[in-house]
């Protein structure tokens, strides 16, 4: 049996799993948002580059779309498999209160913080506000995981009643 199997997932493994997931999601979002922007710009009469009235709409739609994709990915993967692609690579699994995969409700609660990207709808400063809010959430999660020597549960795990464990 591998060392650490069945033990709470450590911060480094969890960070790497999240990094893998975010790289995948950034690529997916770049593709989808690019199609959205091109579509709006082609139909806009806001000047040579079409950055007139359509740019606010692009910001709103892309912020909501990104939040939905991120939250949907994490909630669906964790509730259906107990793992995201990043967790599969790092041999981690999220467990719900019953010991199996989290319910959809638990997975949504656990990952609600990724929906902060919807703050990007705020004109001019939304992207900065959303980025800072997500950074603050991630820092607080890391501090919580490091501070809980027994269960390695961040505030999001405690809120949802979940735990990440090493499975390999």
The tens digit of pLDDT for each residue in 35-85 reads 877 776 676 554 434 444 557 777 788 889 899 999 999 999 999 999 999
The structural domains of the chain, with segments of one domain joined by +, span 11-166
3-class DSSP state for residue 164? strand
Instruction: Specify the pLDDT at position 50.
Output: 41
pLDDT at 55: 72
Whole-number percent of the chain with pLDDT over 70: 89
* Contact yes or no for 106/162 (Cβ under 8 A): yes
The reported pTM is 0.86
Mean pLDDT (the chain, rounded)? 89
- β-bridge pairing 92-95 and 163-166: antiparallel
> pLDDT, tens digit, for every residue of 1-16?
456 789 999 999 999 9
Q: What b/e sequence results for 68-97 when a residue is b if at least 16 CB atoms lie within 10 Å of its CB, and e otherwise?
A: ebbbebbbebbbeebbbbbbbebbbbbbbe
Task: Check residues 39 and 125 and name the one with the higher pLDDT.
Answer: 125
């Amino acid at each position: 049996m591998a060392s650490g199997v069945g033990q709470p997932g450590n911060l480094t493994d969890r960070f790497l799993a999240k990094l893998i997931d975010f790289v995948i999601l950034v690529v997916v979002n770049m593709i989808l948002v690019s199609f959205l922007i091109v579509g709006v710009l082609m139909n806009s009469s806001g000047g040579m580059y079409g950055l007139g009235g359509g740019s606010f709409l692009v910001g709103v739609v892309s912020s909501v779309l990104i939040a939905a994709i991120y939250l949907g990915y994490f909630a669906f993967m964790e509730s259906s498999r107990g793992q995201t692609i990043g967790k599969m690579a790092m041999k981690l699994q999220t467990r719900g209160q019953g010991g199996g995969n989290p319910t959809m409700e638990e997975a949504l609660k656990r990952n609600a913080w990724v929906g902060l990207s919807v703050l990007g709808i705020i004109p001019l400063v939304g992207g900065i506000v959303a980025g800072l809010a997500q950074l603050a959430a991630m820092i607080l999660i890391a501090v919580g995981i490091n501070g809980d020597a027994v269960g390695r549960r961040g505030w999001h795990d405690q809120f949802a009643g979940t735990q990440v464990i090493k499975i390999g």
